Structure 1
Amino acid sequence: MLDKMLYNTILSQTLSPCGKYLVAGNIYGQIAVFDLDNIFNPVVELLTSDYNKPKQIHTLESGSQVCSLITTNKFLVVGTVNQISGWDWKAVGHSKLGKPSWTIEIRPQVQFENCDINCLWCSEDEEKLYAGCGDNIIYVFNLEDGRVIHTYEGHSDFVHCVHGNGQQLISSGEDGLVLLWDRRTKKSHNKIVPHSNSKVQRPDIGKWVGAAALDNDWIVCGGGPRLSLWHLRSLDVVTVFDIPDKGIHVSLFHDDCVFAGGVSKQLYQLSYAGDVRVELPVSATTVYSALLATQPRKVLSIAGSSPEIDLCTTFNYRDQVLHFR
């Protein structure tokens, strides 16, 4: 009998607030909980051959793929299809997950029967939850009562990525747009169209933008168009990164460095000038999720089209390989 877990694809990851647990979600509606304390600081006398496998694997009742995960101080927030649910962190480590503490139903426009919750981002005060969805809309929910308090509408195809920095929000989508939003006025005030720029366009791969991130002065984005660095105020492209990928799904800033991955067997760490600082081999043939944390534990976790998750504590090489199967 064919073991479907050999063909597992991991779409999302998050850490518990205490940093003890890594949680990963896959295309089969499963949530794996890994005990990082046991993995990084094992008691040799108690070490077993399955120490790098999940402590628990929970299967959601809906069976819908786990498109996105995010952590608040109290809840593990899970985005699937047409639904966002929150579980109290105290329940996540138990052998049986049980019912969620709360559930938000997404009711997409008529032409969209199913709406994937592709990405989640939470405001710094954890009062508002932003969800980029398959019906082209970014929903903003009040985490106290789950009601929709605003929608951001400007994409004409499904939203791949939502990320915030201060009062600014950035989003990217299948339509090839990178939109900048002011969280105070709740309006889009600028945009980038990478596929229209001759320096970054790759018509053979497409116009979609799979990842975009924002810091105080810079935007990094990529997808079908090449991974590129843009100046936030002028919206000029400053650096086009020369890496051999066939599409970007992950990009983020850390310590004056850009981390990026996608359809490639490497996760790249790049200087703003475009130099490759680290070319990190990964288990997945396509990277869909890269989780980087410095507190309460320093860890870089990389996952995608593989049952394996690569863990790095120095960010320069793999310390551990976890098995989601």
Structure 2
Amino acid sequence: MLNKMLYNTVLSQTLSPCGKYLVAGNIYGDLAVFDLDRILNPVLELLSVEYNKPKHIHSIDSKKQICSLVSTEKFLIIGTVNEICGWDWKAVVSVKLSKPVWSIKIPSQTFLDYNDVNCMWLSQDSEKLYAGCGDNNVYVFNLEDGSLISTYKGHNNFIHSIHGKNQQIISAGEDGLVMLWDTRSGKSHNKLEPHTNNKVSRPDIGKWIGSAALGDDWIVCGGGPRLSLWHLRSLDAVTVFDIPDNGIHVSFFHDDCVFAGGTSKHFYQMSYSGEVRVELPVSATTIYSAVLRTKYSTLLSLAGSSPEIDLCTSLNYKDQVLHFR
């Protein structure tokens, strides 16, 4: 029988609030819990061939892929199909996972049987959860009682990416739109269509946008169109990054640099002007998830179309490979 874990694809990751655990979710509904202390600070006398494998693998639902993960101080929040669930962190890191503490059904207004919660973003105070879904909508939930606060409508295909900063939300999707929303009014006040710009358009790959992120004065986005930096106020394309990729799925700002990856042999760290500062070789043929920790100590984890997850304790090189199997 085919060993499904050899063909594993990791769609999502997050870190525990204490910084001691990395959690990864895959297409088979499995949740892997890695003990970072054991992996990064091994006791030589107790070291075994299993040290870089999960401490636990929990099966959430074999019929539902784990599309997205975020964390609060109390809960690991899992976005699957048609549903968002919250598990107590104590249960997540234990041997046996109990039932979720709470769940929220996605109020789909279509006849889709499967409405993936493709991406989630938490407000800074962890009181509101923004979910980008397969029915083209962004839903805003109150985490205190699970109530639906608002629905952002404007995309005409499913949503790949959501991020927030300074009372703004940015969403991007399969329709090629990058939309800016005001969190106070719940209204869209601007949008980009990168595929219409000749400098970034790549018709052979498509118009979809796999990732978009907000900085103080900038937007970075990419997908079918080339990864590019846009000025937030003028919405002009300032930099087009010259990196070899066949689609971007991850992008974010950190320490005056742009980090990005996707269908490529490397994960990139670049200056705003386009200079490539770091090329990290990756195990997966496509990166779907990247998490960066700067609290406690620096940690970058990269995962995608592989059972291997690359762990970097320096942003300049890969120094550990974890095995989700």
Superposition map of 1:147-166 within 5 A: 147-166=147-166
Is the contact between residue 68 and residue 78 of structure 1 (CA under 8 Å) also seen in structure 2? Answer: yes
Following superposition, the deviation at residue 62 of structure 1 comes to 5.5
Deviations 1:22-78 (A, max 9, x none): 000000000000000010111111111100000000001353100000001110000
Superposition map of 1:51-200 within 5 A: 51-61=51-61, 63-200=63-200
Is the contact between residue 136 and residue 159 of structure 1 (CA under 8 Å) also seen in structure 2? Answer: yes
Is the contact between residue 30 and residue 61 of structure 2 (CA under 8 Å) also seen in structure 1? Answer: no
Superposition map of 1:1-325 within 5 A: 1-61=1-61, 63-325=63-325
Residue type at the aligned position of 1:123: S
Q: SS at the partner of 2:256? A: coil
Partner Cα separation in structure 2 for residue 186 and residue 110 of structure 1: 21
Deviations 1:284-325 (A, max 9, x none): 000000111101331000000000000001111111000000
Residue type at the aligned position of 1:20: K
Partner Cα separation in structure 2 for residue 114 and residue 63 of structure 1: 11
Q: SS at the partner of 1:13? A: strand
Is the contact between residue 108 and residue 114 of structure 1 (CA under 8 Å) also seen in structure 2? Answer: no
Residue type at the aligned position of 1:178: V
Q: Percent identity?
A: 71
Residue type at the aligned position of 1:133: C
Q: SS at the partner of 1:176? A: coil
Partner Cα separation in structure 1 for residue 13 and residue 40 of structure 2: 18
- The number of residues matched between the two structures is 325
Following superposition, the deviation at residue 106 of structure 1 comes to 1.1
TM-score with structure 2 setting the length? 0.99
Partner Cα separation in structure 1 for residue 7 and residue 62 of structure 2: 20
Q: SS at the partner of 1:273? A: coil
Partner Cα separation in structure 1 for residue 279 and residue 163 of structure 2: 25
Partner Cα separation in structure 2 for residue 322 and residue 297 of structure 1: 18
Following superposition, the deviation at residue 149 of structure 1 comes to 0.8
Is the contact between residue 208 and residue 224 of structure 1 (CA under 8 Å) also seen in structure 2? Answer: yes
Is the contact between residue 81 and residue 115 of structure 2 (CA under 8 Å) also seen in structure 1? Answer: yes
Partner Cα separation in structure 2 for residue 281 and residue 234 of structure 1: 35
- TM-aligned CA distance change 1:94 to 1:63, over 3 Å: farther
TM-score with structure 1 setting the length? 0.99
Partner Cα separation in structure 1 for residue 63 and residue 21 of structure 2: 23
Q: SS at the partner of 2:216? A: coil
Partner Cα separation in structure 1 for residue 117 and residue 62 of structure 2: 14
Q: SS at the partner of 2:91? A: helix
Partner Cα separation in structure 1 for residue 163 and residue 2 of structure 2: 38
Deviations 1:103-155 (A, max 9, x none): 11113123322100000100011110000000000000000111101111110
Residue type at the aligned position of 2:28: Y
Partner Cα separation in structure 1 for residue 111 and residue 199 of structure 2: 36
Residue type at the aligned position of 1:275: E
Specify every segment of 5 or more residues in structure 1 that has no aligned partner in the other structure, as ranges: none
Partner Cα separation in structure 1 for residue 84 and residue 265 of structure 2: 31
Partner Cα separation in structure 1 for residue 101 and residue 29 of structure 2: 18
RMSD, aligned CA: 0.8
